[in-house]
Amino acid sequence: MSATQTPSRPDTKFIVILSDGMAENPLDALGGKTPLEAAHTPNMDRVAAMGVVGQVNIIPDSQSPGSDVGNLSVLGYDPDRYLTGRAPLEAGAMGIELKSNQVAFRCNLVTLIGDEMHDYSAGHITSEEAAELIEAVGSRLGGDGRTFFPGVQYRHILVADEKYDVLKGTPPHDIMGQPFADHFPKGDGADEVIGWMKQSWDILKGHPVNRKRIASGKSPANSIWLWGQGKAPSLTTYPEKYGLKGSAISAVDLVRGIARYAGLDVLHVDGITGLLDTNYVGKAEVGLNSLEDGDFVYIHVEAPDEMGHAGDPQKKIQAIEHIDREIVSRVLDYMQRHPHTRVAILPDHKTLCTTRTHERGRVPFTACGVGIEADAIPVYTEKSAAVSEHDFPVGSKWMDWFLGVER
């Protein structure tokens, strides 16, 4: 893109603020405005005024508009080539090293009633209860190349042989209230995987954790459900690909997993939740501090997405305003002190308050800093982006442009 040249000094700092699900279509509830338009965002508009606004088509037509696809694409990796499944990304976030001859499955603890998938989360079972159950499952069904790893709440991982990579499984949250047997994994090796799921029934049925849950009126975790398996994605890391030492901050497993595979340090920040009450200031401060010896930081904020899923435009506006006031303002202060910096703000996909789900389609970005010549667009909204000449039809090319290594 002509507005940008390669940063001329090697010590440029790059900051990406990924505002998950922030973009949206106009809402009747907001008088025809989007949450981003309705929100008071003087700092984001300052970035727009100093730099450029444009559009990115982050989600390829071939992929569904999830945060796994979106964040891979924004970070510069073509999802068609690099996305191998959800479970290997989550395994990465948990620090599980997958060998090249292994796959990771997502292993949900679920509640089956009769022949139906009653609850994909086993009544949002606690991590402590789940750990006991997964240990019991692992001690009986583990071995012979299989290892069960306890995760958070109902979300666990099974590492198994690579031969199961070919299976087609189904997310349990997509088949709530439906006959589960219709949605067992299909393909070569499916019988064995279905066998483990069925064997878990006996192991879990009389387990003390489940007895206690039933006694207190909660759903028992009476089955495991295996799906979403894949091999480790082989991403060229940021040091290899861009010559950059970078970090990432996110409360979301998937995003942390992608970051690890991309060779980014996943930084710890106290009190980050993935929700509206997350620690915005902490994210900004830890992220900016990492630039003392790093070149790149990816600050991911989940809150706008969650407020979209909640169908609450006012809370989505609040999330966007928190990001503007607590994060973007600090980044602008940092740029005053360190002029050789570039910053970008963008979402990974739209999350609609109307449908409470993600939608594909172009999303707006804004970026400013060293080497980025200002265009004439002074505000950052979906509408202002739509009239911009800056358009990236292939989302995974956007990062090359932002980092000034356009090829």
Q: Which stretches of the chain bind Zn ion, using CB under 5 A? A: 305
Alpha-carbon distance of 79 to 83, in angstroms, equals 5
Are residues 149 and 93 in contact, defined by beta-carbon separation less than 8 angstroms?
Answer: no
Query: Cβ of residue 142: shortest distance to Zn ion, in angstroms?
Result: 32
What's the alpha-carbon Rg for the chain, to the nearest Å?
22
Closest approach of Cβ 180 to Zn ion, in Å? 24
Nearer to Zn ion, 252 or 344 (CB): 252
For Zn ion, give the closer residue by CB, 305 or 321: 305
CB 260 within 8 A of CB 98: no
> Are residues 167 and 229 in contact, defined by beta-carbon separation less than 8 angstroms?
yes
Closer CB to Zn ion, residue 35 or residue 369?
35
Please provide residue 156's backbone torsions phi and psi, each rounded to the nearest 5 degrees: -130, 175
Residue nearest to Zn ion (CB): 305
Q: Which residues contact 239 (CB under 8 A, 6 or more apart)?
A: 245, 263
At 105, give phi and psi (nearest 5°). -100, 145
Q: How far is the CB of 152 from Zn ion (least distance, A)?
A: 17
Compute the least distance from the CB of residue 20 to Zn ion, in Å.
7
Q: What is the spatial distance between Cα 338 and Cα 295, in angstroms, rounded to a whole number?
A: 12
> Please, which residue, 46 or 358, has the CB nearer to Zn ion?
358
Smallest gap, in angstroms, from Cβ of residue 249 to Zn ion?
18
86 sits in which H/E element: helix 86-93
Question: Cα 142–234–106 angle (5° rounding)?
Answer: 35
Specify the residue, 295 or 305, whose C-beta has the smaller distance to Zn ion. Answer: 305
284 phi and psi angles, rounded to 5 deg: -65, -45
**Least distance from C-beta 48 to Zn ion, angstroms?**
25
